[in-house]
Structure 1
């Protein structure tokens, strides 16, 4: 039975990705910052007959928490087949009227960059570094980094891009940084069995978007596609089927 760790998996796309991978015969470690929320999520899945799931406390902004999760999972399995770095935040605050405060390049405080990067960039790097040895023990290891088409420098420079006017310097730059991390990681692992890709699930109706957007089920399907690819599959690529629905959905960095 293949194994997968999904960070930020107690709700939203992470939770649905867990459901779909359980349906594909995986043993799922449901990574969650708040263990109580993770245990509740695991019980929901078990109530649906998807029993090979267990919650693991992991705060991707804490090296101590990541190390403890690595120790816990390593005590239960000898290999990890898939790592999905799903946990992420927007860093967008609301003003006194409940309106989103724009993340402008001129006015945004550095503290907001630090908070968002700690989760969206340093988090995947921490988790990947901690679990890379377990992934090496898998015959077909896969790493999927949850990104966004909004992290594409090429698209955000194109006035014809669907979300060209949806700027936000902190979140967008964090995903651009994650994309570059993905490129480097895939390059370093190019002569191994690893497949490392960045995937944008598209604008999806989750808490992250205020319940606006497309189907969570569709978004999760886009994500797990790259957890399930064979040895002839791509590596070191960025995919977004929402922005590029033709072919395999690859988009420019």
Structure 2
């Protein structure tokens, strides 16, 4: 009989819906070797999500799932998460930073920036920093930032980029900052063996822009959140490591990477390799 000591402990933030939820399901179905922590802003939302997962998938679930309250904008829940992990598992193997928002209600530009960066950038930075000591106790520690190619300066500057007219300056800015965080952590964590990936899930059906946005995505042909979830399982299992190391950038769900920055060379925009 396996115990928590034998399992890979994985925490996923924003896991009560969308990509995070589907990743929890995909990981649990793929192997009994994980203990999955379903992070959400409130324990009630997490428990409701778990109940639905169990009702829908039942015996197909191989790995245990535990709901945990972790609001990346709340230092108290971040500290509580660290305390829980220390006392229950004494380590963390993999952290998937999936929580993110697009502000779609009317507000000032300044308020939009503050809300967006608080969840998409400041929170992930603080959460990762807080949990590094627990990640360092793992034999194969990973941090995966669920980002977006909308944060790529290279693609935003490319006149041929098909999504160049998509609005959302504040969101784009936050994902560019998150990509920089991933690049910095990727460099900084080398000394203790931490692997860091910035992951681009593509355009898929989520609750990121509310119910109206969800309907718009469905009608517009957006992909199911199950697609990036399957790709994240591959990242967790190390199947994309070679690709991620040889081609620096935002790992794309269908293979290859999207450039995460840009540099002018002879008048042309090219990806920066770091």
- Structure 1 equivalent of residue 271 of structure 2: none
> How far did residue 130 of structure 1 move?
1.4
1:225 and 2:234 correspond = yes
CA distance, structure 2, for counterparts of residue 12 and residue 64 of structure 1: 25
- The alpha-carbon distance between structure 1 residues 191 and 231, as it changes in their structure 2 partners (threshold 3 A), is farther
Of the three residues 16, 23, 33, the one matched with 1:17 is 23
CA distance, structure 2, for counterparts of residue 55 and residue 181 of structure 1: 27
CA distance, structure 2, for counterparts of residue 224 and residue 143 of structure 1: 13
List aligned pairs for 1:49-88, cutoff 5 A: 49=59, 50=61, 52-88=64-100
| TM-score normalized with structure 1 length | 0.87
> Which structure has more helix as a fraction of its residues?
2
- Structure 2 equivalent of residue 181 of structure 1: 181
CA distance, structure 2, for counterparts of residue 181 and residue 141 of structure 1: 17
Aligned residues: 236
- Structure 2 equivalent of residue 116 of structure 1: 116
Task: Indicate if the aligned counterparts of 1:203 and 1:214 stay in contact, CA closer than 8 A.
Answer: yes
- Is there any run of 5+ residues in structure 1 with no aligned partner, and where? 95-100, 102-107
Q: Does the residue aligned with 1:5 lie in a helix, a strand or coil? A: strand
| TM-score normalized with structure 2 length | 0.81
Q: Does the residue aligned with 2:187 lie in a helix, a strand or coil? A: helix
| Root mean square deviation of aligned Cα | 1.8
- Is there any run of 5+ residues in structure 2 with no aligned partner, and where? 1-6, 261-274
Q: What do residues 70-103 of structure 1 show as CA deviations (whole Å, max 9, x unaligned)?
A: 1112211022111000000011225xxxxxx9xx
Of the three residues 214, 225, 228, the one matched with 2:223 is 214
- Structure 1 equivalent of residue 128 of structure 2: 128
Task: Indicate if the aligned counterparts of 1:42 and 1:55 stay in contact, CA closer than 8 A.
Answer: yes
